[in-house]
A and B are shown apart, each in its own frame.
Chain A
Amino acid sequence: MSRVNPYEPIKAVIREVIEETPTIKTFRLELDEPMEFATGQFIQLTVPGVGECPFTPSSKPGKSRNMDVTVMKVGTATEVLHRKTSGDMLAVRGPYGNGFPLDFLKNKELLIVGGGCGMAPLRSLLYEIIENKQDYPSVSFLYGCRTPEDILYKGSFPEWKKEIDFERTVDKASEEWKESEGVVTKLFENVKVNLKKCVAVIVGPPVMMKFATMELEKKGVSDDRIIVSLEKNMTCGFGKCRHCLCGPYYVCKDGPVFFYKDVKDLPDVWD
């Protein structure tokens, strides 16, 4: 925590806005001061005068004044945010939460499963993995979206494909689409990593995570080898507002990244 007052954010300027899909944009920010975050941690982004929302940065983890935040237009604040352009002021608090357990992931076979906008936090994990390839010898990345249009970071795909095993699928293909069609769990059939040994990291909409975890368990991935990132209403970000409580956990502090075994029996985990 860089600031004495935890509610005081760091101002940031939008340097570039990248239109990823019709409803998703990546905002390339320059912060007034550098902020250090680990992949999977989240920040609270202030849209001045409108609201504040939690996002996991999609840029390379580490300490920097530059940060990418990929935002889907779903509510009041993100609606206004989507109208912002280069030069507009925002503000950032954080980072908060635990992030992905990199020490646990290192030197294991990894199966990473992303759905829709869940690709945003996974891009920052991808940067980490590609930059430290020696620590991650075997990685399979599966990414599912509704349509080809909804796919994030389309331009980076060829580059990533060179670095790791990377498969994409869409629920509903277009005529030009040459890759898989169907829900992401279909790709589990021919996955290259050994499901009896691998660690799975799943990030996506709740319904996708629910079915992906169920399917993986059926295929022999035990619940202590499945890692999920939960989305709850995180207002303060540091365990003082109680909004994000899920069972006995503060999702903002104890999470947002959890081992599936710790949260699978909580009644409201996917709601």
Chain B
Amino acid sequence: MTASPDQIVVRDALKTYGTGAAEVTALAHVDLTVDRGQFVSIIGPSGCGKSTLLRLVAGLETADSGDVTVFGADPDQACAAKMIGFVPQVPALLPWLSVEGNVTLPSKVNRRADALRRTLPGHVHREPADPRALLTKIGLGDSLARLPHQLSGGMQQRVAIARAFAIQADVLLMDEPFSALDEFTREAIQVQLLELWEQMRTTVVFVTHSVSEAVVLSDKVVVMSARPGRIDAVIDIDLPRPRRQGLLESAAVHDYEDLIRGRLQTAWAAGPATR
């Protein structure tokens, strides 16, 4: 197979958990392609394998069969070269480090990554990000010295996003990062994430269970269904960028939301209710 240097490619990925009667097929022969610079959301009911898919790309798990390549490198190399920025569901900040300390820590570990990155085929040179500028952009410029427990949940999650951007990763993998936030906070952070993404032009794979969040953020929405976990539809979101608050109330957005909801419902109805 030819690994594309400008795409994340998941080909025929199979992943099962457990054995015998308890075996669950988390991913049944899944194919997915993400172009460089795209914002792709993965949406689906719980248990559809969307987090598993993300973790395969992140190199946190390996597929039973099939291939995963991240801009031409396998996930293991990609991690070793710090090409992947991971944002988990909870902020996962170190409580003893300040906001700035948390954001700069990734650049202090695995220092050989930069040299390795230059040797990889999909390498695109980027200037190292200035953590202070990054934090200022995301609205935390006056909180550099504060500790995580002094921040609200939304502010903590913004620190986690800044931390992922700070290593100038080629792809950010976000696993339902806003699911624990209330609606106002969520919408505010979505706008900030979009602004940052438009400036940094990173590739983002974003797992969510919110239809409107998927439409507002993405170039492409991947709809998955459960048991076995599979991709049901891939929907291109053809809305102009930059997307600002005003646009989000437009009829086009609602059309896309309805389309995705319809897909989710048929996927849910088609799949066996019990395994």
A and B held together in a complex: no
Q: Could you tell me which B residues sit within 8 Å of A by CB distance?
A: none
